[in-house]
Structure 1
Amino acid sequence: MSMTLSMAAFALAMSITPGPVNVVALGAGARYGLRTSLRHVTGATVGFVLLLLLIGLGMRELLVAWPWLTRAIRWTGVVFLLYVAWRLAADDGSVEADPDARGPSLMMGATMQWLNPKAWLASVAGMGAYAASGEKAVIWQFAAIYFVICYLSIACWAWAGATLRQALRERARVRLVNRSMAALLALSALYLLVS
């Protein structure tokens, strides 16, 4: 297997699997439609690739030198995920068009990645596996491959949510989906605490 194909396989495995960012993309697609949820998709992709690049360009040494920073990131991420889960669970399931409803923003998508321990682990593991030598060309190649695959993977989740949107015409169904997404986010947060 070529290095490029191996990088792509790693990026796909880490990007397409369920996680907090993908769960929010699914919920955003269901609630606001694909077009609106693409802001979240774009923000999450840009946020992740920026994190990946910083890890590859030397931030990993900072995390090794200051292990408390890794713990702080993990705890902040867990608290943030629990907050998002609470907001989803508390949502009333209203399906009427709300002129003030904008859906998840570009910044929220990026912030979620920076507070997502799964993103930190994927960045450290990926750069450790493919760019441990610190060769800049390899770091940028990996980031470019990851950008495309990450964007398409998160967009698939948003598209799946948008597809479900047709079935979610009643408040009770929306509440059920929101609470299911909230439970998945809470479980993700709890898993991150014990892993």
Structure 2
Amino acid sequence: MTTETVLALMSFALVMSITPGPANFLLLASGANFGIFRTLPLLFGVSFGFLFMVFLVGLGLGGLLTQYPAIHTVLRIACGAYILWLAYKIGRSRSLGKGEDGMAKPLGFLQAALLQWVNPKAWTVALIVNVSYAFPGAVLPGLLKMIPLFAVVNLPSIGVWALSGSALRGYLSGSGRLAVFNVIMALLLVLSTIPMLLNA
């Protein structure tokens, strides 16, 4: 892999990882409601779920998606339903770190990893990475080079969202502020999904 390819891949990873999307809004909301340490399983799960998806797409799962477009439809419906449910739970949360009237605890590692499998943005990026940066004739070695490079950029980039949410905890502890914040996060979560669902 040339230096130019490495820099291009890492630049792409930065842009795709740090821009708004369902997973990043969840990290922001979780950081604000539960703090950074309780959000770490969500953070690592989001990153692992996506990188594992890149790996499987590179091994041939992308071809199945092309061959069977109905899979996209199923994913879009599943994503929409799951995001709406998460948005509803977040929008009802009123207590920092408790969430007894909304989310009782942050999403765990496995839930976060599985979320990526119904996230249209994650599928799109995984396909682009494999089409743009794959090694023809050396798929597995290429993936084993690409994925660590992407991870080095991806994890801190999405971590910024969780840290930003955690930094807001002091401000949000004021009367009524958390309720407003969570409703805004719920709306952003839904709005960030709509364009991807319509264009998936």
Which interval holds the TM-score relative to the shorter structure?
over 0.9
* Deviation per residue, 1:90-148 (Å, 9 max, x gap): 22x12375799442211121122111100000000111111162522222211111122
**Secondary structure of the structure 2 residue equivalent to 1:18:** coil
CA contact (8 A) 1:94 1:171 kept: no
CA distance in 2, matches of 1:53, 1:176: 39
Check conservation: 1:44, 1:112, Cα contact below 8 A. Answer: yes
**Aligned residue runs from structure 1 range 43-82, under 5 A:** 43-82=45-84
The correspondence for 1:42, drawn from 37, 41, 44, is 44
* Equivalence map 1:175-186=2 (5 Å): 175-186=179-190
Distance 1:17 1:7, change over 3 A: same
Contact 2:42 2:107 survives alignment (8 Å):
yes
Measure, in 2, the Cα distance between the counterparts of 1:17 and 1:109.
18
- Of 75-84 and 21-30, deviating more is 75-84
Deviation, structure 1 residue 33:
0.7
% of aligned pairs identical?
31
1:84-95 alignment runs, 5 A limit: 84-91=86-93, 93-95=94-96
Task: Quote the residue 1:27 is aligned against.
Answer: 29
Which residue does the alignment assign to 2:134? Answer: 131
Give the 3 Å change call, closer, same or farther, for CA 134–178 of structure 1 in structure 2.
farther
Q: Partner residue of 1:15?
A: 17
Which of 165, 168, 173 is equivalent to 1:164? 168
Q: Partners of 2:153 and 2:137 in 1: how far apart?
A: 22
Change (3 A) 1:58 1:175: same
User: Is the counterpart of residue 153 in structure 1 residue 154 in structure 2?
Assistant: no
TM-score by length of 1: 0.92
- Equivalence for 1:106: 109
Unpaired runs of 5+ in structure 2? none
Q: TM-score, normalised by structure 2?
A: 0.90
Name the counterpart of 1:117: 120
Deviation at 1:194, TM superposition (A): 2.1
Q: 1:134 to 1:172 in 2, by over 3 A?
A: farther
Gaps of 5+ in 1: none
Q: SS at 2:176's partner residue?
A: helix
Name the SS of the counterpart of 1:2 in structure 2.
helix
- Greater shift after overlay, 101-110 or 31-40? 101-110
